[in-house]
């Protein structure tokens, strides 16, 4: 999948990633909004500054939702009720 990211510091660009949750963590790492790129259409799928409810609405079509974790927010796979996490070292470094 192709993604576009943009944060408040002016960092922006595109990257590809096969795993949607890993792409979210990649953007989250630099506090960037994340969009799925489908041709010329960009659709937001994650916003680190918005609440769980907003992000869950964005992620629901992809089978995920955002919940409060022990320390931080977590991404939950709806079908399995499993929390999906990535170590920050595992994600792409965009800047």
80 in any annotated domain: yes
For 54, residues 6+ apart whose C-beta sits below 8 A from its C-beta are 47
pTM of the model: 0.87
Residue 28 CB partners (closer than 8 Å, separation 6+): 34, 46, 48
pLDDT for 46: 97
Residue 59 lies in a domain: yes
Give the tens place of pLDDT for each residue, 27-72: 998 999 999 998 889 999 999 999 999 999 999 999 999 999 888 8
pLDDT in the model for residue 91: 67
Give me the number of domains the chain comprises: 1
The reply to whether 95 falls in a domain is: no
User: What residue numbers bound the domain in which 79 lies?
Assistant: 2-90
Q: What is the CA radius of gyration of the chain?
A: 12
Per-residue pLDDT at 84: 87
- DSSP structure string for 21-34: HHHHHHHHTTTEEE
Confidence of residue 5 (pLDDT cuts 50, 70, 90): very high
pLDDT digits (tens, 9 = 90+) for 80-92: 999 988 766 776 6
């Amino acid at each position: 999948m192709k993604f576009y990211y943009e944060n408040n510091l002016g960092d922006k660009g595109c990257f590809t990633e096969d795993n949607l949750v890993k792409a979210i963590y990649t953007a989250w790492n630099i506090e960037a909004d994340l969009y799925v790129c489908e041709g010329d259409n960009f659709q937001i799928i994650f916003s680190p500054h918005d609440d769980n409810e907003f992000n869950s609405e964005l992620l629901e079509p992809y089978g995920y939702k955002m919940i409060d974790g022990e320390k931080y927010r977590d991404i939950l796979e709806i079908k399995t009720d499993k929390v999906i996490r990535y170590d920050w070292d595992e994600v792409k470094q965009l800047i």
